[in-house]
Amino acid sequence: MRPQDRGLFYVRIQRVETEFENMSRQMTGAKMIVECLKDQGVDTIFGYPGGAVLPIYDEVFQQNAIQHILVRHEQAAVHAAEGYARSTGKPGVVLVTSGPGATNAVTGLTDALLDSIPIVVLTGQVPTFMIGNDAFQEADTVGITRPCTKHNWLVKETAALSETIHEAFHVATTGRPGPVLIDIPKDVQFASAAYTPIKKARVSHYQPPVKGDMASIEELVAAIETAKRPVFYTGGGVINSGPAASQLLRELVEATDFPITSTLMGLGAYPGSGKNWLGMLGMHGLYEANLAMHGCDLMINIGARFDDRITGVVDAFSPGSKKAHIDIDPSSINKVIHADIPIVGDVAHVLEDVLKVWKSRGRKTDKSGLQEWWAKIDDWRSVDCLKFEQVSQVIRPQHALSRLEYLTKDHDRYITTEVGQHQMWAAQYLNFDDPNRWMTSGGLGTMGYGFPASVGVQVAHRDSLVINVAGEASWLMNMQEMGTAVQFKLPVKQFILNNERLGMVRQWQELLHGERYSHSWSEALPDFVKLAEAFGAKGIRVDHADDLDEAIKEMIAYDGPVIMDCLVEKHENCLPMIPSGAPHNEMLLSESSTKDAIGSKGAVFV
């Protein structure tokens, strides 16, 4: 064979191989979806089948690389994916059907959007030729979910499916994380097309900047060098940025010796046992944290969004401070509070540059000013705003969580919560020394979040102790997930503080509505022990303070799902509390935490 012919021969062979490769990559849309998920490293799907996603479920059945967790309600699927994502740092994946399957997912999507949780939700849709005809189980899923997702897609051609899925993962996890949704008609799932590998996904159009402006970083460092009353105010953005961000934050705090506080979503980014820790701030934050925020001269906001539960009255929020704000999302800066030093960028990248610049300039701080500032903070700490007395056999909720903390702190522990008083008590009395150990619904405040979130966490961490701190009212909203826990042998512990009340609603009615308890007392509650047994789980009931420790130990030791019904004081208020309309330096404290206790209802303004 002549050399020139040999070259043509090889070209033809390459063309045949390419054509064969393309033919071998032809697959149905349903199979393509599963292949995309594998390529993205997905190992778990939370979902519930229905007619519009049966082709996908058929492909799920025919493979073993991805496990599917069958929930009992689509809302629970999204919350479980949130728990999985928050505890692992990986995106959670949800698969639900069209119509009510998709609409049931809306609460979870909104929850994930407000708390910046990366999840990818795949929904089935009626065939493309039936869209708009009010077909059985049809809903305008893209229209309904547009306000509660970072982005969503309706895929009308199988050839566009793989690229869309890969793009969706990119959008969910890049910049400020959040939920995305892909609506997939049934005929798109049945039809065939060539699979586009992940490397060909279109992602260049969405590349948020991660490096902060160096001039602004130098301005922040100059402020750090001269501040007399500084405070770090951190949020969930530190945790979302990844382990490096938390480590850099800890290094910066220890090096500068500045005090640090956190939002509800940021707990664990800095150790709760750390010497510079002031505790959580905000409406139910600690006295010393709130007064430090009110009296500081330099506030360094790292990955928080100035939520109204943090700021209180905006005009009275930290009135004398210079405010720096580091955030990956430019829309969060200057939205609520004006930032004197705005820095748009990823927390880890910005903190790395702040440390480099600060060290290069000599590691300077105003040490005498800091010494006076810490002396003032220690005075505030002496108030001991979380002090309580367990004087009778009626269990106080603070005591229950203090004992839970003591008996579980040495375990490989993850905590989820429902929403209400118990959520705030958990944030106050449980310590978190590491990020990704605390899963709660912050922005939306979703009752029913905690139980399915604990399922998602336990799926991701099979050998860890996962506890959902709950109120009986919140827990009942997704109680059906006991079936999921039992089916998949997930030893999640449901620690219910049962006061037979809608606790936070009742508290506000007492303090703001003349003690008119309109529909805030739970009626016809189930026997939680019998309910657990009916599902095939273990039930424990405790109503006596002397029995509490043994009940908690029994809950921990049981190798399976547990419902622990802990009956607590019915009219306990969650304090400290900044009343609605008050600034940070006007707090409602318990009588136990101050010698100047006056008034009634076991509380006093300070």
What lies within 8 Å, CB to CB, of 579 at 6+ separation is 511, 512, 586, 588
3-class state of residue 311 by DSSP: helix
The pLDDT of residue 399 is 98
* Beta carbons within 10 angstroms of residue 58's beta carbon: 15
Of the pLDDT bands very low, low, confident and very high (cuts 50, 70, 90), residue 523 is confident
Scored b (16 or more CB within 10 A) or e, 519-554 reads: ebebeeeeebbebbeebebbbbbbeebeebeebbee
Q: Which residue has the higher pLDDT, 605 or 340?
A: 340
Question: How many whole angstroms separate alpha carbon 192 and alpha carbon 548?
Answer: 60
Phi and psi (nearest 5°) for 46? Answer: -105, 125
Marked catalytic residue, from 9, 129, 136, 190: 136
Residue 528 annotated among the catalytic residues of the structure: no
Q: Which residue has the higher pLDDT, 145 or 605?
A: 145
The pLDDT of residue 196 is 81
Of the pLDDT bands very low, low, confident and very high (cuts 50, 70, 90), residue 215 is very high
Of the pLDDT bands very low, low, confident and very high (cuts 50, 70, 90), residue 384 is very high
The pLDDT of residue 4 is 54
Q: What is the mean pLDDT of the chain?
A: 94
Question: How many whole angstroms separate alpha carbon 90 and alpha carbon 93?
Answer: 10
Give Cα separations from 377 to 254, 255, 259, 292 (angstroms): 17, 19, 9, 7
Helix, strand and coil in the chain, % to nearest 5: 45, 20, 40
Beta bridge partners of 538: 562
Q: What is the mean pLDDT of residues 557-566?
A: 98
What lies within 8 Å, CB to CB, of 147 at 6+ separation is none
State pLDDT tens for residues 495-508. Answer: 999 999 999 999 99
Beta bridge partners of 550: none
Q: Which residue has the higher pLDDT, 350 or 585?
A: 350
Of the pLDDT bands very low, low, confident and very high (cuts 50, 70, 90), residue 15 is low
Pair 446, 475: CB distance under 8 Å: no
Residue of 252, 230, 233 whose CA lies nearest to 350: 252
| Pair type for strands 538-542 and 465-471 | unpaired
3-class state of residue 106 by DSSP: helix
What share of the chain in percent tops pLDDT 70? 94
Pair 105, 94: CB distance under 8 Å: yes
Q: What is the mean pLDDT of residues 214-239?
A: 98
pLDDT for residue 11 is more than 80: no
Instruction: Give the class (CATH, top level) of 214-381.
Output: alpha beta
Residue 504 annotated among the catalytic residues of the structure: yes
Residue of 524, 521, 525 whose CA lies nearest to 501: 521
Of the pLDDT bands very low, low, confident and very high (cuts 50, 70, 90), residue 2 is low
For tokens 């809903």, what's the residue?
139
DSSP for 536-577 reads: TSEEEEE--GGGHHHHHHHHHH-SS-EEEEEEB-TT----SB
State pLDDT tens for residues 330-349. Answer: 999 999 999 999 999 999 99
The pLDDT of residue 106 is 98
CA 553 to centroid of chain Cα atoms: 27
Beta bridge partners of 565: 496, 541
Residue 509 annotated among the catalytic residues of the structure: no
CATH of domain 397-567: 3.40.50.970
The pLDDT of residue 12 is 53
The pLDDT of residue 199 is 73
Marked catalytic residue, from 130, 137, 405, 409: 137
What share of the chain in percent tops pLDDT 90? 88
The pLDDT of residue 584 is 82
Q: What is the mean pLDDT of residues 305-332?
A: 94
Residue 601 annotated among the catalytic residues of the structure: no
Using CB atoms within 10 Å of the CB of residue 463, give its burial: 0 to 12 exposed, 13 to 18 middle, 19+ buried.
exposed
Marked catalytic residue, from 31, 150, 186, 323: 186
CA 100 to centroid of chain Cα atoms: 25
The pLDDT of residue 204 is 86
Domain boundary assignment for the chain: 20-200, 214-381, 397-567
State pLDDT tens for residues 415-451. Answer: 999 999 999 999 999 999 999 999 999 999 999 999 9
Of the pLDDT bands very low, low, confident and very high (cuts 50, 70, 90), residue 492 is very high
What lies within 8 Å, CB to CB, of 336 at 6+ separation is 305, 306, 307, 308, 311, 314
Radius of gyration of the chain (CA): 26
Q: What is the mean pLDDT of residues 519-531?
A: 95
Of the pLDDT bands very low, low, confident and very high (cuts 50, 70, 90), residue 17 is very low
Which stretch of 3-7, 73-77, 297-301, 554-558 has the lowest confidence by average pLDDT?
3-7
Of the pLDDT bands very low, low, confident and very high (cuts 50, 70, 90), residue 23 is very low
pLDDT for residue 596 is more than 50: no
> Which pTM was predicted?
0.93
The pLDDT of residue 14 is 54
Q: Which residue has the higher pLDDT, 197 or 70?
A: 70
Helices assigned H by DSSP within 304-416: 308-311, 347-360, 367-381, 397-408
Marked catalytic residue, from 504, 555, 564, 577: 504
3-class state of residue 360 by DSSP: helix
Task: Decide yes or no: CATH 3.40.50.970 for domain 20-200.
Answer: yes
DSSP E strand stretches across 126-189: 151-154, 179-185
Which stretch of 121-125, 437-441, 584-588 has the lowest confidence by average pLDDT?
584-588
Residue 186 annotated among the catalytic residues of the structure: yes
The pLDDT of residue 1 is 53
- CA torsion angle 472 476 478 482 (round to 10): 90
The pLDDT of residue 22 is 47
- Cis bond before residue 576 (omega within 30° of 0): yes
Pair 606, 383: CB distance under 8 Å: yes
pLDDT for residue 153 is more than 80: yes
Do domains 214-381 and 397-567 share one topology? The answer is yes
Marked catalytic residue, from 74, 167, 418, 481: 74
State pLDDT tens for residues 451-490. Answer: 999 999 999 999 999 999 999 999 999 999 999 999 999 9
The pLDDT of residue 201 is 76
Give Cα separations from 490 to 73, 307, 344 (angstroms): 17, 34, 41
pLDDT for residue 601 is more than 80: no
The pLDDT of residue 594 is 59
